[in-house]
Chains A and B, each alone.
Chain A
Amino acid sequence: MFEVQSSQFSGPLDLLLRLIETEELSISDVSLAHVTESYLHHIKAHEPPPEDLADFLIVATKLLYIKSRSILPTEPEPEEDASTLALQLRTYKEFVEVAKKLNEQFERGQEVFAHEKPDVVKRSSFVLAEGLDQTVLHGAFVRLQKQLEPFFAMQQIAMERVVSVKERLNQLRESILTRARMTFSDVIQSHTSKVEVVISFLALLELVKQQVVHTVQSDAFSDIEIKRID
């Protein structure tokens, strides 16, 4: 008696088919009777998983029935069930063969892909408010810009001042170097705005702090005299 080595079968028909194929038999009641013992031996040696055991046993009973009939001397009556097993096995075999072809197609790696559903949970859709169009948007932006104008203007002044104090400081330092003394009214003579006067005053204070000049003012609001410290 020969043994089919692997115990991994996809089912009783798979086992039966391999037994018949190993013996190079065609699928008929005669060959089924012939492999009955091998089949029984196999399921005894490698117990099928419990969930499939019943199916293996059903096939076993069918095999035994076919076998017993083939031994009996009486002319067997045509029996439905026996030929069903052979038919079942032939059909199964055809499917196994075409399954191999399907597997080849799988392994060719010709998978096709479709649009995927987006990963993100669907957002509430974007709806444009009624009556909203380009002109309205433009108008709103112009208004916004007007509202922001004072703010931008202030920033502009602040920038000017920062830059100007430094510049004015240098101007003042240079002019005091060429002359021993001058007055604040000389400095602001050409100034046109209050801001400019303030800037010059800040520059002057800075020069005092840096001990480049010192200042004298006789009374409140009188002219300031500026002298170079050598």
Chain B
Amino acid sequence: MLTTSIESILFAAAKPIGIDQLKKHFGESEEVILVSIEDIRERYNRPTSGVHLLVHEQKVQFVTNPDCAQDVVAFLKKEASGPLTQPSLETLTVIAYRGPMTRPEIEQIRGVNCGLILRNLLMRGYIEEKEDKMRLQPMYSVSIEFLRSLGALHVEELPEYESFHNNKHIDELLQKISEQTSV
């Protein structure tokens, strides 16, 4: 019944729903909610289903099947996302694979000041900025909108996600800047 209720809520909702909100509403533990979410995901995320479940950063949302994009765009006269410039694409890639991360970390990987581009990406809604209480600086991560325009239902679906997300070289590199900045 819990799973069914969650499914109905997700269907009727006009925006992504937080796992936290569901926990609070149903008075259930995160594990119980996640089991339901996983159940819904398994039932929907298959080629024959027109509706899929997108899960990102503790939020879930029903979306269309990536393979149906053309028809949805044509029929509902949706605007498809425009192309990305090379710097935008690079920055988004870095954040998608390594986020949430700070601006110095992004700049360490790209070797160039990213202030303008981050502002631009924030404005286009491709990334989100959250204040991190421990590190006292904003952390950037890609948004649900970004995943939607990419047609990815979870960041882990991105090509070679695992090898980039847990990469020793990158860890080492980022470690170096944290040493530099802390000196």
Query: Residues on A close to B: CB < 8 A?
Result: 8, 10-14, 51-52, 54-55, 59, 80, 84, 87-88, 90-92, 94-96, 98-99, 101-103, 105-118
Contacts and interface: CB of A to CB of B under 8 A. Distances in A.
A132 to B, nearest CB: 26
A94 to B, nearest CB: 7
Given A94-B169, A98-B159, A99-B89, 6 more contacts: A52-B113, A88-B111, A105-B152, A111-B80, A112-B63, A114-B16
14 contacts: A10-B87, A88-B109, A90-B169, A94-B169, A99-B90, A102-B93, A105-B150, A109-B69, A109-B151, A112-B52, A112-B66, A113-B64, A113-B72, A117-B15
B151 A108 contact: yes
Nearest to B147: A112
Most central of B67, B112, B153 by chain A CB within 10 Å: B112
Given A91-B173, A101-B159, A111-B69, A51 B116 contact: yes
Interface in B96-155: 96-97, 108-113, 115-116, 148-153
Contacts of B64: 112-114
Contacts of A55: 111-113
Given A12-B111, A52-B112, A98-B164, A87 B172 contact: yes
A55 B103 CA distance: 15
Contacts of B113: 51-52, 54-55
B63 to A, nearest CB: 4
Contacts, number: 139
Interface string B9-20: 000011110000
Interface residues of B, number: 56
A92 B109 contact: yes
Contact of A95 (B52, B87, B93): B93
A145 B182 CA distance: 84
Contacts of B94: 95
Contact of B14 (A12, A112, A117): A117
Interface of B: 13-16, 52, 54, 61-67, 69-70, 72-73, 76, 78, 80-81, 83-84, 86-87, 89-90, 92-94, 96-97, 108-113, 115-116, 148-153, 158-160, 164, 167, 169-170, 172-173, 176
A111 B93 contact: no
B84 A105 contact: no
Most central of A101, A111, A113, A118 by chain B CB within 10 Å: A111
Contacts of B170: 91
Given A98-B93, A110-B66, A115-B14, A11 B149 contact: no
A10 B83 CA distance: 16
Given A95-B90, A99-B89, A112 B109 contact: no
A91 B76 CA distance: 41
Nearest to B144: A114
Contacts of A115: 13-15, 62
Most central of B69, B90, B152 by chain A CB within 10 Å: B90
Contacts of B62: 114-115
A52 B112 CA distance: 7
B97 A110 contact: no
B73 A111 contact: yes
Given A109-B70, A111-B80, A115-B14, A95 B97 contact: yes
